[in-house]
Amino acid sequence: MLRTFLIGVTAVAVTVVSACSVSTGPAGSSSADKPAGDQVVIGFSQVTQQSPFYVQLKNGAQQAADKAGAKLLFADANGDVTKQNNDIQDLITRGVDVLLINPVDPKGVAAGIAAAKAADIPVITVDRPVPSGAASHVGRDNVKMGELVGERVAQALGDAGGKVIEIQGDAGGAVARDRSKGFHQGVAGNSKIKIVQGPYCDYLRAKAVTAMQDLLQANPDVKAVYAHNDDMAMGALQVLRENRRTDVKVAGVDGLMEAVKAMPDGQYVATALNDPIGEGELAAQTAIKAARGEQVQASIDAGTALVGPADATKYVGDTVFAQSSS
């Protein structure tokens, strides 16, 4: 296995050298020093397009690129880290000036980041950070978002507390880990709240629907459901309503407009703003700065806020996700 790995790394290195050899830039120039008058080419490797959040994240990056006169080359990994590493290599070969990466697996994408480094191409991560190798990460404080939602759920349950089912995002993902950690911190003040951790549903509503059907049968005494994003939470809400369980509170994260609009009846009690358009725009703007050799911060927080039934109406609009400026 070690021999096979070393051969694979060598192959990546050879491919990177080949990609650099066909560059049309001046000899000795760096892709991180793009002249101000030249068009910046951004390579965006996205984890998936099967979630509305990630579709809007791409749209935000595209809008910022168009506004700045930059070109955006997009690749959808479809949840496959091997494909993502191959996509990154392809984007490098196509001559991008900077890479914007939303990793399928923060550790598994290391080969792609190493290839970018060998080609002298800066990497900006968005939404999901990586352990090392990125010039900057653009995202939000997922611990804080989980904590805000946890505090509101604890408030909704009151002193009686009760059983809370947690539907998780992706196994091993930093976002899922942090949203779980924050939520647990948020409800920690009420010792009568018991959290039952459900399965990983990869942030997809369809998977959450299937999981919730089994979870409800196994936990008929459930008092609330917390999902790591609103799309999964809306799936749980669907199952609860089909089973006439309007007594069970529901909460998620991301500020999905569908969830915000569901709040007035009181069953959906909380979400945290995570506007993907704004995050995508900020990520693309940061990528353009890095491509031009400008200084970028190592970590950029796009901000968040809690939304509950009492203030939901002020966030209602025609966007897919609620925006903090609403």
Give the pLDDT of the chain (326 residues) as one tens digit per residue: 334 433 444 443 433 333 332 222 333 334 446 666 699 999 999 999 988 899 999 999 999 999 999 999 999 999 999 999 999 999 999 999 999 999 999 999 999 999 999 999 999 999 999 999 999 999 999 999 999 999 999 999 999 999 999 999 999 888 999 999 999 999 999 999 999 999 999 999 999 999 999 999 999 999 999 999 999 999 999 999 999 999 999 999 999 999 999 999 999 999 999 999 999 999 999 999 999 999 999 999 999 999 999 999 999 999 999 987 54
Give the domain ranges of the chain: 31-139+276-295, 142-273+307-315
Burial category of 210 from C-beta neighbours within 10 Å (exposed 0-12, middle 13-18, buried 19 and up): middle
Superfamily of domain 31-139+276-295 in the CATH hierarchy: Response regulator (3.40.50.2300)
Q: Domain 142-273+307-315, CATH 1.10.3720.10 — does that match?
A: no
CA distance 6 to 4: 6
Contact by Cβ (8 Å): 230, 253: yes
Averaged confidence pLDDT in the chain? 90
For tokens 């209602």, name the residue: 316
Residue 17: other Cβ atoms inside 10 A:
11
Which two tokens mark 322? 């609620």
Contact by Cβ (8 Å): 253, 274: yes
Taken as a whole, the chain contains a residue count of: 326
Q: Residue 11's pLDDT is what?
A: 42
CA distance 85 to 91: 10
Q: Residue 325's pLDDT is what?
A: 58
Summarize pLDDT for 289-317 with one digit per residue, the tens: 999 999 999 999 999 999 999 999 999 99
pTM as predicted: 0.79
CA distance 64 to 77: 22
Same CATH topology for 31-139+276-295 and 142-273+307-315? yes
Summarize pLDDT for 18-37 with one digit per residue, the tens: 333 222 233 333 444 666 66
Q: What is the enclosing helix (H) or strand (E) of 227?
A: strand 222-227
**Helical H runs in 195-275?**
205-218, 230-242, 257-261
Q: Residue 3's pLDDT is what?
A: 42
